[in-house]
């Protein structure tokens, strides 16, 4: 047998109580190496990698928020040639000769126009590392889909729509697996919600002012943590989507609001994509507003159905999702979660009025693709769902 000189890293990952008799350097046989250790280290590596990625994502989200709040050179405008604008440079080999694509200021104030044309601009890490690369690809797609100048796709603004669809498919491909994972653990949590509710009921106290309230809360949390670990539940798994979806939303928002050809394009040759539907409906109803109103009457119901569709599918996978009628307890958070969902649904629908038309169109197609992907995820989860026996179903009806 060969002996290997091993550097012990257990102190980095394992609790201190398991390392009292561990030395920093140990000799061990290769054949006696436990395979579980490799799995353990792999899990720990993946865990720390996720922590680093999510921390970086949160840092970029915070940077984008505070940068937009406190700096003027990243603000956007509906007007072409004003504010932060992504396009091709008016000088050099990238020049197109088309003022809809070349960054040229249309304002006499030099501090009111900030062209994003190359990677040397000092617009901060979020814009330069994430928005700028996507903006170059987005510009290239719009230019290629245009074909010849004054073609049908160019005049009708379809080149921008086609480019938006390509960006949408790319973004949805990035988040599909994470959405599937989040929904998988959400379903798994749903299958165990009764047992978790029983644990919560066991540690209920008479009031928050009682002396044993803190102790009961600690015991309850410990038992819930043990239960989650035993059954491999991850209650916070759906929250992880926040660190992926939010940067994507911010990137898409920037693309739709700062890209010069998007601000110049007109859908069907008459509807500017940079304007907000609410502004046009209330200011120019007879000329263009009625077109935007018809568009909103199509977009809003689709967005509403997209918000409700996952809950509808969840009810099909779990018929007792809404309430447990024969149990002595109910989910106390059900009412508040419904209120939050309703508020978010209304806010999302209102955004269709006050966002730019390009963003409204993006999220219209996003809702359609979401409906399709949610149904695919529903079929996958339904296939993965363990089948209950007839006895289990009868016991569930009895609340056992």
Residues 365, 163 contacting (CB under 8 angstroms) = no
Residues 174, 248 contacting (CB under 8 angstroms) = yes
In the prediction, which pLDDT does 210 show?
56
Token pair in block for residue 325: 């009628």
Residues 273, 267 contacting (CB under 8 angstroms) = yes
The predicted model scores a pTM of 0.80
pLDDT per position as a tens digit, 12-58: 445 544 444 444 444 444 445 667 778 888 888 888 998 999 999 99
Highest mean pLDDT (candidates 186-200, 272-286, 346-360): 272-286
Query: 260: pLDDT confidence band, cut at 50, 70 and 90?
Result: very high
Residues 87, 118 contacting (CB under 8 angstroms) = no
Instruction: Tell me the average pLDDT across 226-247.
Output: 85
pLDDT per position as a tens digit, 111-167: 788 888 888 778 889 999 999 999 999 999 999 998 888 889 888 999 999 999 999
**Spatial separation of the C-alpha atoms in residues 106 and 81, rounded to whole Å:** 5
Q: How many C-beta atoms surround the C-beta of residue 63 within 10 A?
A: 14
In the prediction, which pLDDT does 341 show?
61
Helix axes 357-384, 242-258, angle to 10 degrees: 150
Mean residue pLDDT of the chain comes to 80
Residues 396, 388 contacting (CB under 8 angstroms) = yes
pLDDT at 284 over 70: yes
**Spatial separation of the C-alpha atoms in residues 223 and 96, rounded to whole Å:** 65
């Amino acid at each position: 047998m060969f002996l290997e000189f091993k550097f012990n890293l257990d102190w980095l990952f394992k609790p201190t109580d398991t390392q009292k008799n561990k030395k920093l350097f140990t000799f061990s046989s290769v054949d006696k190496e436990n395979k579980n250790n490799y799995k353990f280290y792999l899990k720990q590596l993946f865990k720390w990698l996720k922590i680093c990625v999510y921390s970086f994502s949160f840092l970029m989200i915070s940077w984008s928020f505070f940068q937009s709040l406190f700096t003027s050179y990243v603000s956007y405008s509906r007007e072409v040639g004003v504010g932060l604008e992504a396009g091709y440079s008016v000088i050099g080999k990238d020049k197109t000769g088309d003022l809809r694509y070349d960054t040229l200021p249309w304002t006499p104030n030099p501090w009111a126009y900030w062209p994003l044309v190359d990677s040397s601009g000092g617009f901060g890490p979020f814009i330069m590392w994430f928005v700028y690369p996507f903006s170059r690809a987005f510009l290239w797609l719009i230019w290629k889909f245009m074909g010849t100048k004054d073609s049908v796709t160019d005049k009708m603004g379809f080149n921008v729509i086609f480019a938006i669809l390509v960006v949408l498919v790319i973004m949805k491909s990035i988040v599909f697996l994470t959405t599937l994972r989040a929904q998988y653990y959400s379903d798994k949590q749903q299958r165990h919600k009764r047992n978790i509710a029983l644990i919560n009921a066991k540690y209920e106290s008479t009031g928050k002012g009682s002396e044993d309230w803190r102790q009961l809360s600690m015991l309850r949390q410990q038992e819930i943590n043990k239960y989650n670990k035993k059954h491999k539940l991850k209650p916070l798994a759906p929250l992880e989507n926040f660190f992926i979806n939010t940067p994507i939303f911010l990137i898409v928002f920037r693309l739709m609001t700062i890209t010069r050809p998007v601000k110049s394009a007109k859908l069907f040759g008459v509807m500017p994509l940079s304007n907000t539907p609410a502004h046009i409906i209330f200011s120019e109803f007879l000329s263009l507003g009625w077109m935007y109103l018809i568009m909103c009457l199509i977009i809003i119901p689709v967005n509403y159905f997209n918000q409700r569709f996952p809950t509808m599918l969840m009810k099909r996978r779990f018929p007792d999702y809404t309430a447990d009628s024969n149990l002595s307890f109910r989910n106390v958070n059900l009412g508040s979660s419904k209120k939050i969902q309703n508020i978010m649904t209304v806010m999302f629908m209102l955004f269709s009025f006050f966002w730019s038309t390009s963003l409204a169109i993006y999220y219209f197609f996003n809702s359609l693709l979401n409906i399709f992907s949610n149904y695919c995820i529903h079929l996958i989860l339904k296939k993965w769902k363990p089948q209950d026996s007839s006895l289990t179903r009868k016991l569930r009806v009895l609340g056992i």
